[in-house]
Chains A and B, each alone.
Chain A
């Protein structure tokens, strides 16, 4: 997600930082490079052009040239502008007091409305609401069936009827929700082209009849230049209240996010990042801007780390490392803490500098962690404390006990040994700051 874009920015910024003082000319050069980065990232041509103009205006001149670290200032300006472009604050769903509250999902065909409907229902239930899915797509074959299956899989009721008029369906759904104690309805409308006048009119009618609290425009995160045309048409007809970007678990650079935001001035409310129904993220422009600029999503990472890491345990670990009695038991504890923080791939993406170079293309296998855990769990306490006693027959036993192979056991032991050596070296190297316990490498 945003990775390649981040990488490119990374490159540009490193060049910038390399300069002692910025002249008008080298800012201009960098801006051309950034323009290209944005275009390759599918940011709309005109949006990119304006972005560059804004940044350039602020970068060239007194402010930058007089500052002590011009490179940093330019980074800050780019960051600020990017943040501004994507919205200044994070946005949540707004409901009135009316029952049922209504959220209407709209967008092109195949943008991921139905899957998102399921995710949203699950999200709202977690928030304590009692949602009802409404199947208003009477056009695509089996669309109603799809929503029903999605609803069933998360145990959320779906409203559908034989009617061939989506407006009537939505109207009746409101009644149905009231009678059945549902406080929120989610309208899954059919995908349609923004130039299909008749179908766009249908959406206007649904809006008029239901008067939804939120109308969300669901857009594919991989969309190119055309994103602005679609978004503009939808916002003009429906004045939607928020944007959802889907398929953000791919490697698209996500420039559409910037484009749509820029032409509609509506907030991006969610990112959808996978086909599992619990894979939904709230969009934080601030964090995303940092991420794009290669600073990593420091805020998220620190927050997550704070949530899962027990400060006391960490201090104890630090002590152990200093005294060189770091054992497999500690290693296991550490693994378990990391696991609590969520999928490794997501975590790595948040660490500054991890987006690029070394990490590129590395597939992190969360199952590897589970295997390592199983292996250590299959050892006796003595073995965990003194891994040196692990002879061939013990290794075989552990492999059998953990359902892995002797090779896997060897690998864990070797990695552990390497970690210990590294720690020894770090100790020799002097003080070691242990903000986050070192991640095991090489899985």
Chain B
């Protein structure tokens, strides 16, 4: 199996360097750091979907540091930029989730259409059951055609149980049944798959609130984790998405998917800055083990490749 870095870089290496000069190109072009260099770095951050505001802010900090430390060496500036980016992404090192706090520990998976929620659940199920937890899936996406079958396939692949509802059943009732089943079967972690929904659809967001409310009524503090699945290709609208989902349900983390492509997912910087929601996992492909815990250092490394 390729290492995470290798996988991340794999995608990035294949990007045509034509469009943007990568970091090394930018830096090696000039032996002295000047405003042009900073402007090019800013451009690179914008091209990574950090957004004009965030990019400007980071470059402003970098400029300050350059002045302060009279730092003009290319190697220095790369190091400082990396530090700034990492700091921007996580204020403190993340503690690992303690699944034993609750039994069953309920994780609800939400997001807009087509970001990879069902695939992510398949991978999470595989990961958790590999760690020795008893995992169960709840197919609460009763809307999209064949979503239940799709989840069923993942359940089979990772060898975990799944609560299979009728098509068109009320998702909240599916969640309700799933919790009961999870308790009865002594399950450690229950993963709830919800239908993709655009954050602008008021009714659908209300439905999501209802699912979480039903979960909370059955089990203290459930869902214990709500993960927003976001496609790394998402642009600046990602921030609005995160805001709206966080308003409806308590989003505790982000799963950034499709990082095996050429998109860099820079929107997560703005999301963390504005909403304080950290990235917890990253998706790197379509196989069962293509999911990794988020590491800010590696992520920034890949971003600057």
A contact residues vs B (CB 8 Å cutoff): 36, 39-42, 44-46, 108-112, 114, 139-143, 145-150, 153, 193-195, 220, 222-230, 232-233, 247, 249-253, 255-256, 275, 363
Interface residues of B (CB under 8 A from A): 11, 14-16, 19-20, 43, 46-49, 51-53, 112-116, 143-147, 149-150, 152-154, 157, 198-202, 231-238, 240-241, 258, 260-264, 266-267, 286
Known contacts A194-B261, A227-B233; decide if A220 and B199 are in contact (CB<8 Å): no
Given A111-B114, A142-B153, A222-B234, answer yes or no on A250-B199 (Cβ-Cβ < 8 Å). Answer: yes
The answer to whether B46 and A225 touch across the interface, beta carbons within 8 angstroms, is yes
Contacts of B115 in A (CB 8 A): 110
**Given contacts A39-B46, A108-B258, could you give 20 more A-B pairs where the C-beta distance is less than 8 Å?**
A45-B46, A110-B114, A141-B149, A141-B154, A142-B146, A142-B147, A142-B152, A146-B147, A147-B145, A148-B146, A153-B145, A193-B260, A220-B114, A222-B112, A222-B235, A225-B47, A226-B263, A232-B16, A233-B16, A247-B112
A234 to chain B, nearest CB (A): 12
Which chain B residue has the least Cβ–Cβ distance from A254?
B237
Q: A220–B231 contact, CB under 8 A?
A: yes
B16, B48, B113: the one within 8 Å of A225 (CB): B48
Shortest beta-carbon distance from A352 to chain B in Å: 22
Chain A residue numbers with a CB within 8 Å of B48 are 225
Contact call A226/B264, Cβ cutoff below 8 A: yes
Q: Which one of A145, A153, A252 lies within 8 Å of B237 (CB-CB)?
A: A252
CB distance from B51 to the nearest CB of A (A): 7
Least Cβ distance of B158 to chain A in Å?
12
Residues of A within 8 A of B202 (CB): 363
Residues in chain A near residue B233, CB distance under 8 A: 108, 220, 223-224, 226-227, 230
A224: contacting residue among B116, B147, B152, B263, CB under 8 A: B263
| Nearest chain A residue, comparing its CB with the CB of B56 | A36
Give Cα distance in the complex from A228 to B46, angstroms: 14
* Alpha-carbon separation in the docked complex, A164 to B48 (Å): 37
Instruction: Using A109-B114, A109-B258, A153-B145 as known contacts, say yes or no to A228 and B19 having CB atoms under 8 A apart.
Output: yes
* Selected contact of B234 from candidates A44, A223, A255, CB within 8 Å: A223
Docked Cα-Cα span, A250 to B243, in Å, equals 14
Structural contact, B267 and A224, CB atoms closer than 8 A: yes
- For residue B20, which residues in chain A have a CB less than 8 angstroms away from its CB? 45
CB distance from B237 to the nearest CB of A (A): 4
Contacts of A225 in B (CB 8 A): 46-49, 235, 263, 266
How far is A109 from B115 in the complex, measured between Cα atoms in Å?
A: 8
Contact B145 A275 (CB under 8 A): no
Contact in complex: B150, A250 (CB < 8 Å) = no
B261 x A42 contact (CB < 8 A): no
